[in-house]
Amino acid sequence: MKFFVDTADVKEIRELNDLGLLDGVTTNPSLILKSGGNITEVTKEICSIVEGPVSAEVVATEYNEMMREADVLSKIADNICIKVPLTLDGLKACKAITSGGRLVNVTLCFSANQALLAAKAGATFISPFIGRIDDMGVDGMELISEIRTIYDNYGFNTEILAASIRTVNHVKQAALIGADVATVPPTTLKALVKHPLTDKGLEAFLADWAKTGQKIG
């Protein structure tokens, strides 16, 4: 499973990338707002840190304007992945952009049929929003499972990018189902390493080691 980080916070991205944990980054207009920076400058800096795909989202809702924005965003760096919304105009833009050899992440997916359309439009990634579905009292993970089945039935190459992840359990469940990628907020990504028995075990080993009075090397 690939790990993307879901943030436009350059400091967090640098730290996670230095750990060797990052395969890519996803941003969206809300995350750009939160970063406080200019979209072009922030995205350019992120692309210089991370080798993998960096999703940058168009904000137009009409095809021609989406294509113009996609062209501007594509020029930021070679590893830009254009993010388009799951609308008819977004799907049309997806088809045109991927046919031109660029990566596309189709975002705001809330149903299996939407994911089917995105795959038919040649999407590189489909982003089902697990957390936002859970918020409505429906099991978001069920959608990941349905999309996995449909894509496997027809051999679609579109990668399932589990998005709107809120918990470490979301990551585990998405991995068990076979999502190709999880885009995870920095705090949740770092929380994956945590286990009380690891902390307790390490504490005991270090205490015993101190009693030996030895040094390695």
Residues that bind ligand E4P (CB under 6 A): 6, 26, 28, 107, 127, 129, 131-132, 163-164, 183
3-state secondary structure of 112: helix
Neighbour tally for 174: CB within 10 Å:
27
Given the residues 2, 75, 83, 92, the one annotated as active site = 83
In the complex with ligand E4P, the residue whose CB is nearer, 129 or 204, is 129
Q: How far is the CB of 41 from ligand E4P (least distance, A)?
A: 19
CB atoms within 10 A of CB 144: 25
Least CB distance from residue 105 to ligand E4P, whole Å?
7
Please give the C-alpha separations between residue 53 and each of 9, 13, 130, 152, 187, in angstroms, as whole numbers.
16, 13, 21, 23, 21
Alpha helices by DSSP H, 78-195: 88-99, 112-120, 130-134, 140-154, 168-177, 186-191
Q: Which is nearer to ligand E4P, 112 or 202 (CB)?
A: 112
**Among residues 148 and 170, whose Cβ is nearest to ligand E4P?**
170
Minimal distance in Å, beta carbon 25 to ligand E4P? 10
Whether 7 and 185 have beta carbons less than 8 Å apart is answered as yes
- Considering the complex, what minimum distance in angstroms separates the CB of residue 200 from ligand E4P? 32
- Reply yes or no on whether 92 is catalytic: no
Catalytically active residues, by annotation: 83
